[in-house]
Structure 1
Amino acid sequence: MLIAQVSDLHVCAPGQLANGVVDTNAMARDAVRAVAALQPRPDALLLTGDLVEAGGPESYAHLLELLAPIELPLYPLAGNHDERESLARAFEGRIGPHTARLPGFWQYAAALGPLRLLALDTVVPMKGHGALCARRLDWLDQRLTEDATPTLIAMHHPPFATGIGHMDEMGLLEGAEALEAIVRRHGQVQAILCGHLHRSIQVRFGGTVAMVCPSTAHQIALNLLGSSADGYVMETPGFQLHLWHGGRLVSHTAPIGDFGGTKPFA
């Protein structure tokens, strides 16, 4: 089982630029080409982070148009730039097979061969930070209790502080400790896959590993001063591949770009 994860595409309506500067649509096309060219072909595509720059039907229609060359089951999450209702309407009929959707939230379960995916909704409407309320956490606990299949949890806001001050202020401000306790009780959780931070970051969390996927567009500036002002940099974009291999999860971060192809060692 091979799962590709792309994150924080920030797709705009056609002709628009994110922050008035970044051509996230062109960069999303590059990401789609990179994923579509993968060999072996992934079994599913997980979409985390902010899928669009500004929620709305036109942006989601453009997102789906850009994703069309990837003929894989799609498993999207909602980010703080997204609108749950618009996302749900856009992906109805396009999302891969799933069950147990939680009413009122974009939260669901999906069987992915030998793995199970539990997609959590951390969105607080009209806010940058995230939260997991009792309903969302109870749903997670119930899903983990009912099935011991090796499980991936996917969510937008990472449930840990990173040291990047302005992003930690927009982190998961409610429910992180309760989430960690739930994960610690259920040993089948192989990893927690996140977006939002536009960087590759890993940490131990609840007896497993939580990781952030880099963005297909701009990256958040790596500033660990604690009180750093916000900012982004045009570092190399990337995506992640999660391979279930030999009874364990192996995750790779892949840069997006033309680097001259593979060359043999002398």
Structure 2
Amino acid sequence: MTTTLLLQLSDTHIREPGRQAYGRINTAPYLAEAVASINRLPQAPDAAVITGDLTDFGRPAEYEHLRELLAPLRMPVYLLPGNHDSREQMRASFPQHTYLGTEGFIQFSVAVGGLQLIALDTVVSGASEGRLCPQRLQWLETELARHTARPVVIAMHHPPFRTLIGHMDDIGLLEGADELEAIVSRHPQVERVICGHLHRSIQVRFGGTIAATVPSPAHQVRLDLAPDAASAWMLEPPGFGLHALPAGGRLVSHTAASGSYAGPFPFHDGGQLID
């Protein structure tokens, strides 16, 4: 039985070599460690998608550094913009990624093994919050109508749900979430809505399926559910997502920690539980 594996990275926030994000964290070694962890997986992913905030300021040197860090990945990599990115510079820095298009929103639909990956652009230029306008939503509706017989994963940067982390919800998807949920509910082939932006693993029921975020390979947003919680990040364990679709089955999503750890060790020795 063939299983399709879609790797998800998000919120890499790469700066120019030697520069630190927020003046405190060099995100590049964390991404390099995540890439090494991905390449050590027992089963190689069919493709990877990065759900936004690829860089910190959308500068040419940042995207050049990102390209170098991603080069060891042994699979196709698909890029989405986040609120820290520049659509124009993404296209200029990754000209071989023709799915990015030449102008306007970065939205695309590609086959990855047995599933269809559909990417939505939630970015509002110059703003931290996200929006889905009627034009973007109509494109999604049309694309879903073209793929009724294939399992679909929708990828986007801003999650279309409240996370209860107040300062992040203030810059979440402020327009189009209800309309998106209505579209998803009409299309049962949508197996998952995968998002970034939150630097945490969060899941919620959405439109008859599951919408979820994944950790950053570097820093995480602090888990504080107070409505007036301060905007803050933590050096909690970094990670990434792995979405597995067995032939004829349902999508199973895993969250993995990046890094090197002891093991694996057997639970049994010669069929006997080790004492």
Q: Say yes or no: TM over 0.5.
A: yes
Report the CA distance between 1:103 and its aligned residue. Answer: 4.8
1:191 aligns with 2:172: no
Amino acid across the alignment from 1:65: E
Among 6, 27, 43, the residue aligned to 2:9: 6
After TM superposition, the runs of 4+ consecutive aligned structure 1 residues lying more than 2 A away are none
Q: What per-residue deviation string (whole Å, max 9, x for no partner) do you get for residues 49-87 of structure 1?
A: 310011011110110000000021111100000001101
1:76 aligns with 2:42: no
Distance in 2 (alpha carbons) for counterparts of 1:103 and 1:10: 23
Q: How does 1:217-232 map to 2 (within 5 A)?
A: 217-232=218-233
Provide the aligned length of Structure 1 versus Structure 2. Answer: 263
In the other structure, the counterpart of 1:250 is 252
In the other structure, the counterpart of 1:54 is 57
1:264 aligns with 2:266: yes
Unpaired stretches in structure 2, ≥5 consecutive residues: 268-273
In the other structure, the counterpart of 2:108 is 108
Taking only aligned residues, the RMSD between alpha carbons, in angstroms, comes to 1.4
Distance in 2 (alpha carbons) for counterparts of 1:141 and 1:26: 39
Distance in 1 (alpha carbons) for counterparts of 2:114 and 2:7: 16
In the other structure, the counterpart of 1:24 is 27
**Which of these two proteins has the greater Rg computed from alpha carbons?**
2
Distance in 2 (alpha carbons) for counterparts of 1:180 and 1:94: 29
Report the CA distance between 1:22 and its aligned residue. Answer: 0.7
Q: What per-residue deviation string (whole Å, max 9, x for no partner) do you get for residues 130-184 of structure 1?
A: 0000110000000011221110000000000010000000100010010001101
TM-score after normalising by structure 2: 0.93
Deviates more, 1:103-112 or 1:215-224: 103-112
Among 36, 39, 43, the residue aligned to 1:40: 43
Distance in 2 (alpha carbons) for counterparts of 1:227 and 1:38: 40
Distance in 1 (alpha carbons) for counterparts of 2:259 and 2:109: 33
In the other structure, the counterpart of 2:91 is 88
Distance in 2 (alpha carbons) for counterparts of 1:68 and 1:194: 23
Report the CA distance between 1:102 and its aligned residue. Answer: 9.0
Q: Percent identity among equivalent residues?
A: 51
CA contact (8 A) 2:110 2:117 kept: yes
CA contact (8 A) 1:198 1:215 kept: yes
Q: How does 1:198-237 map to 2 (within 5 A)?
A: 198-237=199-238
Deviates more, 1:111-120 or 1:86-95: 86-95
CA contact (8 A) 2:52 2:79 kept: no
CA contact (8 A) 1:88 1:106 kept: no
